[in-house]
Chains A and B, each alone.
Chain A
Amino acid sequence: MTAAVEFHNVSRHFGTVRAVDRVDLAIDEGSFFAMLGPSGSGKTTCLRLISGFEKPTTGSIRIFGEDMGDVPPNRRHVNTVFQDYALFPHMNVRDNVAYGLMVKGVERRTRHERAEELLSLVKLDGFGERKPAQLSGGQRQRVALARALVNEPRVLLLDEPLGALDLKLREAMQDELKALQRRLGITFVFVTHDQGEALSMADRVAVFNDGRIAQVGTPSDVYDRPATRFVADFVGSSNVLPPDLTRSFGGPRLWASLRPESIRFTGASDPKAKGRVTALRYLGSGTRVALETGGQEIAVLVPAGAPVPDIGEVSGLTWDPAALHLMEDA
């Protein structure tokens, strides 16, 4: 099976800045692929390399096996949902959605019918006459989605599409997007800096750091088995243990990650470790307890209802040996 999108040793330099640095990547057709990373890590540039708004400094990009070296954005069968939605303010919603069809020269009535179908798909029936300025953020997001889908792309690129929405709406849209992707069966490439969003929606996640891909894998791969210290820290704020601490925690002298939710307090006489509570943070669904052990701070997530120690108290800690995940020093 050909990959929907392939990067072969792709770099994109802006002056001396290496925004994307020797990236190899393959995105399977029909998958929901997330590019996760902090701002400036190169994920958005990678998206723009796919859409064609950036050209690789070196390396090559293929879409469905076809080299994109000299294919301009308007000739790629790829569409984008922009971060700021980029709706045309002078057109009503229907014309915005039908824009791609108008460009193709589709006759007016047909393209309006098709636009209405797509508006119905994103649950905006009857909004066709409105101007973008008359819509809420979530509605604009849906219009942008409908507009990008009108040309029936084989790859849909989404650049932080939920970033501007409030929490509740964002969660609802996450489910909708996922459902939509399943229904349409096309490849979604999704850029986000929100690890929760990436993990909950994507089939596969690429974690970006400093223009490079730190790890590619399923959500549980990157969450439970981070390949590097950076991934462990960025995805789910894991406890990153230096080699000495790993050793004292019963592992080899290597860097390791230990999830806060994997650690439990124990009253047993021989705990795997002991720590003094330095701070408590109430999260609603639980409490995050900061402890000092072996000159290092580690976090423990106590689920709601379980007893929480007091500040200053020294508690014993324990965990499932399999939870201690060893990784590269990077």
Chain B
Amino acid sequence: MDSAHPSRGVADRLTGVFWSRPKLLTALLIAPPLLWLGVVYVGSLAALLLQSFYSIDEFSGVVVPEFTLKTYAELLRPSNFDVIVRTVTMAAAVTLASVAVAFPIAFFAARYARGRWKALFYLGVMLPLWSSYLVKVYAWKLILAKEGIVTWAAEGIGAGNVLGAVLAIPVIGGNSLSTSYIGTFLVFVYVWLPYMILPMQAALERVPGSLLEASADLGAGGWRTFRSVILPLALPGIIAGSIFTFSLTLGDYIIPQIIGSSRFFIGQAVYSLQGTAGNIPLAAAFAVVPIVIMLIYLAVARKMGAFDAL
């Protein structure tokens, strides 16, 4: 017997089997998550889609399990369409603001922060994610309240009338920051900002410093380099971050319930249409809206070349 190959145990033989058929191991490893994804995830999504093509009997309020587009037509009713427009507008505004706020932070972290500063950056960005989402939102309610710290500080520095003027802006203003769209917007931006910073920072980190030097070398000032080199190369990260901020805002139903003017967002509409209301088809149709919007968004982003660098 060849002493270099002593008798083989079961584990050893199994290793041999997997070694000679690498695809078998891959298949075994990927099967459970794939099943989960396929059955639970895609399955529930399909059920949702199916429900949205049912309708509710206007008379009895009972769900009629027959294919119809009536429920989707319901979405176009002014009161429902308002909810969609409101949510999408908010999601877009939150995303743009997140890009604007996150960029300098991500840029600094990717280009200049080293060692301890880098660690501090990650800590600073991640820290808010570790505390409860609800606690943060409640805290913001107090901060933005009519008798809260922002009003107090604004009056303290003599900017009370500025705050008043801002709140007097129709539609987005209100009785106080915490009962206005401005407040909802601020809290959304705060809560989702880390989801924008992190992918953006990762994208910026991948841009070689020599490209920025090359741009400057060819005569470009900071703004030109930003527009022609940094921004296009950071775009995949910005798109990735905006997918987070946009879709998270589209789906959230807690923040607008606690902060803002009580006007419904899609998530709240879904929440209140199921349950006692029993209007599952309309709830499902509402839930399909963010999915469709995100698909369109991704298609546009792809067309713009956001994923070329992937």
- Bound: A200/B236 CA distance, A: 45
B217 & A73 in contact (Cβ 8 Å cutoff): yes
For A79, the chain B residues whose CB sits under 8 A away are: 217-218
Q: Which residue of B lies closest to A75 (CB)?
A: B219
Residue from B215, B224, B228, B233 in contact with A89 in the complex, judged by beta carbons closer than 8 Å? B233
* Interface 0/1 of A133-150, CB less than 8 Å to B: 000000000000001101
A41 at the interface (CB under 8 A from B): no
State the CA gap A90–B203 with chains docked (Å). Answer: 14
Question: How far apart are the CA atoms of A51 and B219 in the complex, in Å?
Answer: 11
Check: A9 CB closer than 8 A to any chain B CB.
no
Task: Judge whether A53 is part of the interface by a CB distance below 8 angstroms.
Answer: yes
Distance from A185 Cβ to chain B, minimum over Cβ atoms (Å): 21
Scan A98-113; emit 1 where CB is below 8 A from any B CB, else 0: 0110111000000000
> CB < 8 Å: which of A75, A80, A103 contacts B224?
A103
Contact B218–A151 (Cβ < 8 Å): yes
Find out whether the CB atom of B216 lies under 8 angstroms from the CB atom of A72: yes
Distance in angstroms between the alpha carbons of A150 and B220 in the assembled complex: 14
Task: Choose among B214, B217, B221, B224 the residue that contacts A88 (Cβ–Cβ < 8 A).
Answer: B214
Closest A residue to B214 by CB, please name it.
Answer: A86
Q: Which residue of B lies closest to A73 (CB)?
A: B216
How far in angstroms is the closest Cβ of chain B from A259?
Answer: 38
- Contacts A74-B217, A99-B218; is A86 near B210 (CB within 8 Å)? yes
Q: Which residues of B contact A100 (CB under 8 A)?
A: 218-219
Q: Could you say which of B213, B217, B228 has the most chain A C-beta atoms within 10 Å of its C-beta? A: B217
**B225 (CB) vs chain A CBs: closest residue:** A74
Given A84-B208, A84-B210, A103-B224, are A90 and B232 also a contact pair (CB < 8 Å)? yes
- A127-179 contacts to B (CB < 8 Å): 147-148, 150-151
In the complex, are the beta carbons of B213 and A86 less than 8 A apart?
yes
Q: Is the CB of B214 within 8 A of A104?
A: no
Q: Are A86 and B208 in contact (CB under 8 A)?
A: yes
The reply to whether A74 and B220 contact each other, CB–CB distance below 8 Å, is yes
- Identify the closest chain A residue to B305 (Cβ): A90
A104 in contact with B219 (CB, 8 Å)? yes
Q: Which residues of B contact A148 (CB under 8 A)?
A: 217-218
Please indicate the chain A residues that have their CB under 8 angstroms from the CB of B214 in the complex. Answer: 80, 82, 86-88, 147
Q: Which residues in window 216-264 of B have CB below 8 A to A?
A: 216-221, 224, 228-229, 232-233
Residue in A closest to B210 when the chains form the complex, CB atoms: A86
Chain B, interface SS category: helix
Is there an interface contact between B309 and A103, defined as CB atoms closer than 8 Å? no
The B-contacting residues of A in range 61-97, CB under 8 angstroms, are: 72-75, 78-80, 82-84, 86-90
Residue in B210, B221, B305 whose CB lies within 8 Å of A82? B210
A51 touches B217 (CB 8 A): yes
Asked whether B58 is an interface residue with its Cβ less than 8 Å from the other chain, the reply is: no
Question: Which size class do B's interface residues fall under?
Answer: 20 to 34
- State the CA gap A147–B220 with chains docked (Å): 13
Residue in A closest to B232 when the chains form the complex, CB atoms: A90
Task: Report chain B residues within 8 Å CB of A73.
Answer: 213, 216-217
A: interface residue count bin: 20 to 34
CA distance A89 to B215 in the complex (A): 13
B233 contacts A90, C-beta separation under 8 Å: yes
For A88, the chain B residues whose CB sits under 8 A away are: 211, 214-215, 228-229
| B228 surroundings in chain A (CB, below 8 A) | 88, 99, 102
B308 within 8 A of A: yes
B216: shortest Cβ distance to chain A, in Å?
4
Inter-subunit contact B219/A103 (CB<8 Å): yes
B301 shortest CB reach to chain A, Å: 15
Q: Which of B208, B213, B220 is A103 in contact with, Cβ under 8 Å? A: B220
Chain B residue contacts of A102, Cβ below 8 A:
228
Contact of B308 with A90 in the complex, beta carbons under 8 Å = yes
Question: What A residues does B305 contact at CB under 8 A?
Answer: 90
Q: Which of A80, A87, A89, A90 contacts B217 (CB 8 A)?
A: A80
Given contacts A86-B208, A89-B233, A151-B218, contact A53 B213 (CB under 8 A): yes
A86 to B218, CA, bound (A): 12
What is the CA–CA distance of A4 and B219 in the complex, to the nearest angstrom? Answer: 19
For residue B204, give the distance in angstroms from its CB to the closest CB of chain A. 14
Q: Once bound together, how far apart are the Cα atoms of A86 and B207, in whole Å?
A: 10
- Min Cβ gap B303→A in Å is 15
Report the separation of the CA atoms of residues A135 and B307 in the bound assembly, to the nearest whole angstrom. 21
Within 8 A of A (CB), among B172-220: 208, 210-211, 213-220
A133 CB → nearest B CB, Å? 10
**Interchain CB contact (< 8 A) of B309 among A53, A82, A90:** A90
Contact A86 B219 (CB under 8 A): no
Pairwise interchain contact B211-A74, C-beta atoms closer than 8 A: no
Taking CB atoms, residues of chain B closer than 8 Å to A82 are 210, 213-214
Given A73-B213, A82-B214, A99-B228, are A89 and B219 also a contact pair (CB < 8 Å)?
no
**Measured between alpha carbons, how far is A154 from B204 in the docked complex, in Å?**
33
A258 to B229 alpha-carbon distance, docked (Å)? 52
B210 surroundings in chain A (CB, below 8 A): 82-84, 86
Binding site for A on B (CB under 8 A): 208, 210-211, 213-221, 224, 228-229, 232-233, 305, 308-309
11 A–B contacts, CB within 8 A, in A order? A53-B213, A73-B216, A79-B217, A82-B213, A82-B214, A83-B210, A84-B208, A90-B308, A147-B218, A151-B218, A151-B219
Complex A-B, nearest 10 residue pairs according to Cβ-Cβ distance, in ascending order? A86-B210, A100-B218, A86-B214, A73-B216, A103-B219, A103-B220, A74-B216, A90-B232, A80-B217, A74-B219
Other than the given A74-B218, A148-B218, 12 more pairs (CB < 8 A) read A51-B213, A52-B216, A72-B216, A73-B213, A74-B221, A86-B214, A87-B214, A88-B229, A89-B233, A90-B233, A103-B219, A147-B214
